[in-house]
Structure 1
Amino acid sequence: MTQLQFNLDMDFLKESIMNSNIDDVVKSTVVLVLNEYMKKERDEYLKADAYERSEERRDQRNGYYDRDYMMNIGKISLRVPRTRNGEFSPTVFEKYRRCDQAFALSMLEMVVNGVSTRKVKNVVEQLCGEYISKSFVSSLTKKLDPMVKEWANRPLNTEYYRYVYVDAMYIKVREHHKVVSKAVYIATGLNEGNKREVLGLKVSHEESYEAWQAFLGELIERGLQSPKLVISDAHSGLKKAIPKVFIGTSWQRCTVHFKKNLFDQLPNKGMNDVKEEIKRIFDVETPEEARKRKEAFISRHQDHAKLGKVMDNLEDGFDDAIQYLNEPVEYQKYIRSTNSLERLNQEVRRRERVIRIFPHTQSAFRLIAAVLMDYEEEEQKKRPIFQRD
């Protein structure tokens, strides 16, 4: 092990410490140690001390150069020794590179978790006493790109996802000097271990049949097999795209959205009992039971003039809303709605609200993907939603 020698005036050092800011003392100590360490490394590299004649000598000393270096205690200025042929490189910077990486990753994590770039900048200044610009913090997020790209393009043919959930939300993005709305398409699935997994993400223009077809088609290209059920709301473009892309897949209309649509069509007063009746239609375990309750509801209220539209819509959407009842009972409560995906959207929205307007589409994709990757990692740590016997 390299032995470092220091010649210190202890009285002078004591006086300096007593009368100095402790941060300055820490920095000065670190500078002293690292400068001496690099000098010893150069001696070992050269295999000869200063002015020593040796057949093993590899090179000649060539003075020093100054280099600023950012550490978690702030920026320090070092005197870096060099050699004549320039091949010598101190290990100090390599050893402390991980500190820099951890520091950068901490800033990235703050941004991903919904802390604004302005607040991140202020935190760094408080910790390090060093000014950094908002643009510097923003540029750090580009370090996520390789990781995000690999995750977003990973193959999906390693296991079968029986149930797939899809939904879209809207964000604001700057484009051609204007603020525009962009649709964020997200797909999740229930994997063979009965854990939720994010399957895909796309930031595109408004919802349409063509956009949904392209998004679902990309999942197929990555190896996704046609699931038994796709669970979603009743967007017309999505409904049309599902059978075009997935062969033999049934569509499950989200029962939460469906019931809400029916409730919105009811008169404002005196409808609490009717709402409970509608809820009970779907609180069963077989399609036959649901159909009996639906027929009984229609028979009971067929003469109610204000419920005609509700009953027509119930009839029209009923079969699509009970597809989950054809699946094993233990799965039914997990596949009757898009609630799990709605909660994930809320997590994305919580981060997105801090940013408000993304500078461009790639930055939106980058941040949302990072949030989804974090969500997926946490989901994989949890127990399966249920254990099959």
Structure 2
Amino acid sequence: MKETKTYQNEGIIHYGSGGEINRRQITNYYPNKLYTIYDEFDAGYFYKLMKEGVYQEIEEGIVLHIKAFIEGLLNYQAYEICNACWYKHSEERNDYRNGYRKRYLLTNYGQITLNVPRLREQSVGKGIIERYRQRSKFIDRTISEMYFKGVSVRDMKKAISKMFGKD
């Protein structure tokens, strides 16, 4: 049984089980659009998907969940800045959505392509993704550790290309 309550008279917050995934969802419904922020993760459901062959590698599933989590945060931040849902006209609206832009983030699980919401007058992503950041801090630390341990640049290139599947 799902307990529901409204959020500022727009959208719905669901608590409890979401089908086979046990998580709390903050979900806003719009025409053909849906975004969700997950704050729990059901390992049993993920294991079931791996057994069925949905995810070939654990890293592939982790990348998809990282992508969904970050995009959910960005969409929610855009909603908070606009102070209104998609296609909703109100006097309290502060800004308007203006599509998405691509942003690439290199993590220790591989490269993630993020769809960052665009607004007409303000920017989204402050506090979630640092400006101009293209790699996670883990990658930067790994590269600097390799350098300080005396690994040659040529060997570092080989190791990094093997880690991230780039030639």
Same fold (TM over 0.5): yes
Tell me how large the CA RMSD over aligned residues is: 3.2
| CA distance, structure 1, for counterparts of residue 59 and residue 166 of structure 2 | 13
1:52 aligned onto 2:75? no
Between the two proteins, the alignment pairs up a number of residues equal to 126
Matches within 5 A, 1:173-212: none
| CA distance, structure 1, for counterparts of residue 144 and residue 138 of structure 2 | 10
Select the structure of larger CA radius of gyration: 1
| CA distance, structure 2, for counterparts of residue 14 and residue 113 of structure 1 | 38
Which structure is higher in helix share?
1
1:14–1:109 CA distance, 2 compared to 1 (3 A): closer
Q: Deviations over 1:272-324 (max 9, x none)?
A: xxxxxxxxxxxxxxxxxxxxxxxxxxxxxxxxxxxxxxxxxxxxxxxxxxxxx
Cα pair 2:37 2:69 within 8 Å, conserved: no
The corresponding residue for 2:67 is: 31
Cα pair 1:60 1:84 within 8 Å, conserved: yes
- SS of residue in 2 equivalent to 1:55: coil
- SS of residue in 1 equivalent to 2:136: helix
1:65 aligned onto 2:65? no
Larger RCO: Structure 1 or Structure 2 (Cα < 8 Å, ≥ 6 residues apart)? 1
Structure 2: any 5+ residue segments left out of the alignment?
A: 1-24, 28-35
Q: Deviations over 1:342-388 (max 9, x none)?
A: xxxxxxxxxxxxxxxxxxxxxxxxxxxxxxxxxxxxxxxxxxxxxxx
The AA in structure 1 aligned to 2:100 is: Y
| CA distance, structure 1, for counterparts of residue 82 and residue 88 of structure 2 | 10
1:79 aligned onto 2:115? yes
The AA in structure 2 aligned to 1:72 is: N
Query: Deviation of residue 128 (structure 1)?
Result: 3.2
| CA distance, structure 1, for counterparts of residue 48 and residue 26 of structure 2 | 23
With the length of structure 1 as denominator, give the TM-score of the two structures: 0.29
Query: Deviation of residue 100 (structure 1)?
Result: 3.0
| CA distance, structure 2, for counterparts of residue 65 and residue 7 of structure 1 | 20
The AA in structure 2 aligned to 1:129 is: G
The corresponding residue for 1:120 is: 156
The corresponding residue for 1:108 is: 144
Structure 1: any 5+ residue segments left out of the alignment?
A: 132-389
- SS of residue in 1 equivalent to 2:151: coil
1:88 aligned onto 2:123? yes
Query: Deviation of residue 45 (structure 1)?
Result: 0.9
The AA in structure 2 aligned to 1:77 is: T
| CA distance, structure 1, for counterparts of residue 47 and residue 132 of structure 2 | 29
The AA in structure 2 aligned to 1:17 is: M
| CA distance, structure 1, for counterparts of residue 153 and residue 48 of structure 2 | 41
| CA distance, structure 1, for counterparts of residue 37 and residue 119 of structure 2 | 25
